[in-house]
Amino acid sequence: MNPHLYFTDQHEWILIEGDVGTVGISDYAQEQLGDVVYVELPEVGKTADKGDEIATVESVKAASEIYAPVSGEVIEVNDTLSDDPATVNRSAMEDGWFFKIRLSDPKELEDLMNEKRYQDYIETL
């Protein structure tokens, strides 16, 4: 288990490196969505508060909002997803990341679940 990996109850994950978090959706989320056909990414430079809608993912089944797991500024987006949104299905926890955010308040991580708690959580769904 990675001690720098956190999850939200909305199935976003964030991997922390220093003061930057890489954000995506969990394997569980992409399985529930089915084949991802479109991803709308935030603009670089956009600031968000924890819980704000920040991106959208669309599949053959549904469209879902992606929420910022922490507050901060978007510093990079995964442009690969514009050309190949199915990357989310193939590699949700690695190559299918959505954006990187510079944390404005690292204490917000305390409200998120670690990998073990998240696994326990999805088993109740």
Per residue in 56-66, pLDDT tens?
999 999 999 99
Which residue(s) pair with 24 in the sheet?
13
CA distance 33 to 89: 9
pLDDT (average), residues 61-72: 97
The letter for the amino acid at 21 is: G
Over pLDDT 70: what percentage of the chain?
Answer: 100
Dist. CA 71–CA 114, nearest whole Å: 18
The span from the CA of 34 to the CA of 58, in Å, is 9
Which class is domain 5-122?
A: mainly beta
Cα 97 from Cα 87, distance rounded (Å): 9
How much is the average pLDDT of 104-116? 97
Please, which pLDDT band fits residue 9 given cuts at 50, 70 and 90? very high
Question: And the tokens for 50?
Answer: 């924890």
Contact 92/82 with Cβ under 8 angstroms? no
The CA-CA-CA angle for residues 104, 89, 62, to 5°, reads 85
How is the beta sheet containing 72-77 ordered, strand by strand?
Answer: 5-7, 12-17, 20-25, 99-103, 72-77, 47-48
Overall pTM > 0.95: yes
3-state DSSP call for residue 78?
coil
